[in-house]
């Protein structure tokens, strides 16, 4: 749902219900104290009784400032809910401008021995913690909180930042009985908003204040919008989802137009073409690319690649940037430092690195454009509405030989044209003044892992040597390379299951030659398992999942596997003298829209060969496919953990 908040009449059909009125601050209704559980959710450890937010503009000596006030009242139902009495309020600071917390107040209410006990938050127990140069946390723990308490706090923040009006989440990890956000608009700033998580508001009101204000000789009234939601369920995180941001019920605001007193209007972002135009003029985006040109040219000259075909040239440039500049771990669509500083420090955020890559590609005569996107953790982009705050990352697209390649030089282990998982999130916007075009952020690389195993028994028949070779490509190779590089010891340990012992150390092939499949091999020894006169052999020790990760019985949100992947297995078991293959193994052959599972065996007098594979065909599975997917996963676990039986012949 997208909307514009201005003085226009809203044309939306909105459900209008009665608002909830809060208690006077410092007071509590007896029913809140006597409340033992929340009928809407018997699992809730606490419930937000109400949460009121209000944003309005004040006229100060320094011009307008935004004030944000919040009052929250929570019932603590169980001891697990006491954590909601430890509160953190983040605020933003810069060198010249900053947000300020003007006041914090709080109470805890208990009903003990027949009387109401009210304990005030002691201002001496409010602390300030600096997270980094821009974010400070105010922290406080409300006093005397126990099972059954009602807590209440309010605070007020003054902000000079008009671009991002305070957003509002109607939903949290506990249920909310009533959540309401009021914004009082003035004619000088016009905002767009987007609402997600529900089809309509339970409460909506639009009024004008009766008291007129005056600014620069213009008389105006505040245009007040109230948005309310009732009985909002708890948002409980589930595994395999992209981002809470994609699902939680919230309203986001973005400055659209600034109306000056002289009648001039400054359009902030109202269309994607305008966003593109603006980005290209910004020193931390378009001008950064321009300003990098000279240095990019000097580097290119030293690389001596001018005579290479375009694709090879692009590949060489991509490799150069990846291997020479370090990502500092920060996502941004804007460069964090000057191009000069970036080249000196060899370190930068995603924009520093990728915009420089773009400059190098351009200087080399290649078509290259920045592509702005929203990472998976940041949530989906509402493509039909230009909220620039939803875009938090920039990559590069280069076009050569009629083909497009998406590049992210922050991921040193990614091949040319492969995006890291964090970027695979629907689509990104090509930043080009000539066009407004979206590009799909998909993974074209084939992701597979092939495990080849050879099992030979030692002459004493008390153990077997297992030689394993793992070959991987695409994202699977990227994941494995990264795990190995991050912690080789953990990587080795994770391969060992049960009573496996390492016999020969792990050897990697093509660890850094990323255009080739990542391969590693190792040899382990496993103790033999037997029953009666039969040997039991696990054909894929330590290689196949032993447990179904899909545990819950019902799924609310899509299962996001990020990319489609295939696992292939082959195991050759050398049949020892005096033994023979005892059992026919049941072949498995499942191929449907969700997965493919294959498993078969062949045997000769000397060897038994087990071959199998499974493929998750989709990157994202819908909630209605969950039950079937879970069942198929169980089949995979059971099939590939089957033991091969060898029978003594004498």
Return the number of the residue (446 or 527) whose C-beta is nearest another protein. Answer: 527
Rounded least distance, CB 631 to another protein, Å: 10
How big, in percent rounded to 5, are the helix, strand and coil portions of the chain?
20, 40, 40
**CA gap 119, 112 in Å, rounded:** 12
**CA gap 112, 110 in Å, rounded:** 6
Angle between helices 310-324 and 286-303 (to 10 degrees): 100
Return the number of the residue (233 or 382) whose C-beta is nearest another protein. Answer: 233
**CA gap 290, 270 in Å, rounded:** 25
Return the number of the residue (140 or 225) whose C-beta is nearest another protein. Answer: 140
Report residue 616: phi and psi, to 5°.
Answer: -90, 110
Beta-strand ranges (E) seen in 384-491 are 393-400, 403-407, 427-432, 435-440, 448-457, 463-473
Return the number of the residue (430 or 585) whose C-beta is nearest another protein. Answer: 585
Tokens representing residue 223 in the block: 């245009």
Rounded least distance, CB 370 to another protein, Å: 23
C-alpha distance across the termini of the chain, in Å: 76
Would you tell me how many other CB atoms lie within 10 Å of the CB of residue 50?
Answer: 21
Rounded least distance, CB 369 to another protein, Å: 25
Coil vs helix vs strand at 517: coil
**CA gap 311, 315 in Å, rounded:** 6
Return the number of the residue (29 or 236) whose C-beta is nearest another protein. Answer: 236
Rounded least distance, CB 129 to another protein, Å: 5
Tokens representing residue 192 in the block: 């767009």
Rounded least distance, CB 534 to another protein, Å: 6
Return the number of the residue (7 or 127) whose C-beta is nearest another protein. Answer: 127
Q: Residue 452 to residues 485, 519, 565, 599, 637: CA-CA distances in angstroms?
A: 22, 11, 17, 14, 18
Return the number of the residue (139 or 290) whose C-beta is nearest another protein. Answer: 139
Rounded least distance, CB 99 to another protein, Å: 17
Return the number of the residue (117 or 218) whose C-beta is nearest another protein. Answer: 117
Would you tell me how many other CB atoms lie within 10 Å of the CB of residue 58?
Answer: 11
Tokens representing residue 33 in the block: 């104290």
Which residues make up the interface to another protein (CB under 8 A)? Answer: 43, 45, 78-80, 82, 86, 113, 119, 122, 125, 127, 129-133, 139, 141, 143-146, 236, 323-326, 328, 344-347, 412, 485, 489, 499, 501-502, 527, 529-532, 534, 536, 546-548, 551, 582-583, 634, 637-638, 641-643, 645, 647
Closest CA to 508 of 519, 497, 522: 519
């Amino acid at each position: 749902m997208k909307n514009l908040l201005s003085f226009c009449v809203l044309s939306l059909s909105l459900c209008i219900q009665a608002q909830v009125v809060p208690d006077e601050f410092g007071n509590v209704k007896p029913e809140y104290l006597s409340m033992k559980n929340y009928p809407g959710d018997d699992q809730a450890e606490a419930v937000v009784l109400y949460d009121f937010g209000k944003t309005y503009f004040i006229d100060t000596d320094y011009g307008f400032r935004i004030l944000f006030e919040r009052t929250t009242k929570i019932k603590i139902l169980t001891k697990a809910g006491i954590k909601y009495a430890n509160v953190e309020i983040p605020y933003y600071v810069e060198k010249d401008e900053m947000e300020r917390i003007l006041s914090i107040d709080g109470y805890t209410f208990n009903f003990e021995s027949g009387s109401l006990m009210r304990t005030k938050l002691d201002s001496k127990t409010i602390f300030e913690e600096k997270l980094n140069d821009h974010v400070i946390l105010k922290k406080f723990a409300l006093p005397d909180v126990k099972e059954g308490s009602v807590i209440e706090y309010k605070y007020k923040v003054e902000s000079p930042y008009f671009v991002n009006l305070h957003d509002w989440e109607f939903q949290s990890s506990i249920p909310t009985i009533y959540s309401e956000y009021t914004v009082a608009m003035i004619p000088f700033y016009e905002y767009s908003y987007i609402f997600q998580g529900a089809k309509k508001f339970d409460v909506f009101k639009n009024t004008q204040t009766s008291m007129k204000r005056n600014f620069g000789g213009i008389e105006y009234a505040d245009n007040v919008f109230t948005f309310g939601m009732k009985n909002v369920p708890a948002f409980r995180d589930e595994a395999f989802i992209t981002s809470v941001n994609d699902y939680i019920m919230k309203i986001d605001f973005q400055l659209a137009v600034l109306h000056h007193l002289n009648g001039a209007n400054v359009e902030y972002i109202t269309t994607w073409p305008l966003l593109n135009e603006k980005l290209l003029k910004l020193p931390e985006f378009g001008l950064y690319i321009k300003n990098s040109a000279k240095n990019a040219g000097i580097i290119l000259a030293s690389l001596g690649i001018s005579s290479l075909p375009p694709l090879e040239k692009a590949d060489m440039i991509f490799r150069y940037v990846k291997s020479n500049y370090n990502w500092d771990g920060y996502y941004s669509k804007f460069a964090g430092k000057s191009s000069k500083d970036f080249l000196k420090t060899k370190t930068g955020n995603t924009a520093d690195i990728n915009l420089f890559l773009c400059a190098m590609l351009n200087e080399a005569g290649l078509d290259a454009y920045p592509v702005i996107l929203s990472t998976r953790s940041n949530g989906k982009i509402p493509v039909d509405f230009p909220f620039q705050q939803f875009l938090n990352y920039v990559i590069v697209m280069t076009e050569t030989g009629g083909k497009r390649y998406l590049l992210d030089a922050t991921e040193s282990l990614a091949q040319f044209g492969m995006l890291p998982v964090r970027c695979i999130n629907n689509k990104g916007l090509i930043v080009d003044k000539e066009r407004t075009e979206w590009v799909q952020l998909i993974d074209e690389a084939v992701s597979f892992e092939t495990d080849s195993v050879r099992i030979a028994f030692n002459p004493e028949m008390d153990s077997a040597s297992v030689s394993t070779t793992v070959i991987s490509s695409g994202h699977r190779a990227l994941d494995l390379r990264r795990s190995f590089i991050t912690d080789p010891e953990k990587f080795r340990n994770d391969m060992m299951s049960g009573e496996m012992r390492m016999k020969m150390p792990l050897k990697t092939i093509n660890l850094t030659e990323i255009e080739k499949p990542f391969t590693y091999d190792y040899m382990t020894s496993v103790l033999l398992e037997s029953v009666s006169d039969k040997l039991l052999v696990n054909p894929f020790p330590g290689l196949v999942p032993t447990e179904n990760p899909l545990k819950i019985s019902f799924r609310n949100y899509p299962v996001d596997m990020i990319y489609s992947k295939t696992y292939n297995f082959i195991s050759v078991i050398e049949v020892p003298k005096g033994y023979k293959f005892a059992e026919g193994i049941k072949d498995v052959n499942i191929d449907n829209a969700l997965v493919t599972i294959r498993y078969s065996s062949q045997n000769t007098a000397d060897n038994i060969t087990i071959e199998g594979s499974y493929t998750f065909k989709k990157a994202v599975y819908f909630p209605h496919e969950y039950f079937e997917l879970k069942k198929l996963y169980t089949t995979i676990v059971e099939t590939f953990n089957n033991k091969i039986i060898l029978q003594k012949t004498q």
